[in-house]
Amino acid sequence: MKLMFASDIHGCAESCELMLKRFDEEKADKLFLLGDILYHGPRNDLPAAYAPKEVISMLNARKDKLFCVRGNCDTEVDQMVLEFPIMAEYALLFLEGRTVFLTHGHKFNTQTPPALQKGDILFHGHTHIQMIDDSREYVYLNPGSVSLPKEGNPKSYMIYSDGEFCLKLLKNGELQKGYKIL
């Protein structure tokens, strides 16, 4: 199974469209969105091509392929227009004998981690900064942001396939780095 992970669309139709193009090109089975789907939030500048209604339409058309967690900018109003659940604080995956804790990052993060065992994976967005860090007892992954990357990071996403997480550029799907969990 091939899984795609992306975060922090923030209502940017152009980035959402490109993310879905990469999803198709990757031939991924499921797309996990780690929150902040429609609204840009008061701390962020308005993204280029800000068009949340277009994002709604694009994502609703793929609702059978999406799993989402709630970001700090996601609200009940967003859930009213999206045809797939977005309000869960976290989700759990079990890959290769490891627990993968998926969340947005505003509640559970490296400063306030959930209860994880050695080798488990904390996977969140929120910071808009891509990361693969295995220096802790658990592994920390962050796909960065598809629309508003920070600290000089490019727009990015992650793919999981065959026991490896791969961080890739949104613009062309180019591999940046990988992390094998096998």
The yes-or-no verdict on residue 26 having pLDDT over 90 is: yes
Q: Which structural domains are found in the chain, ordered by start?
A: 3-180 (3.60.21.10)
Q: Report the pLDDT value the prediction gives residue 137, as an integer from 0 to 100.
A: 95
Q: What token pair was written down for 157? A: 């996403």
- State percent of the chain over pLDDT 90: 94
**HSE on the CB side for 22, CA within 13 Å?**
26
The one-letter code for the residue type at 128 is H
pTM: 0.97
The yes-or-no verdict on residue 133 having pLDDT over 90 is: yes
Q: What is the pLDDT of residues 49-83, one digit of tens each?
A: 999 999 999 999 999 999 999 999 999 999 999 99
The one-letter code for the residue type at 175 is L
Contacts of 92 (CB under 8 A, 6+ apart): 99, 100, 101, 102
What's the rounded Cα separation, in Å, for the pair 137 and 6?
A: 24
User: What DSSP designation does 132 have?
Assistant: E
Q: Report the pLDDT value the prediction gives residue 86, as an integer from 0 to 100.
A: 98
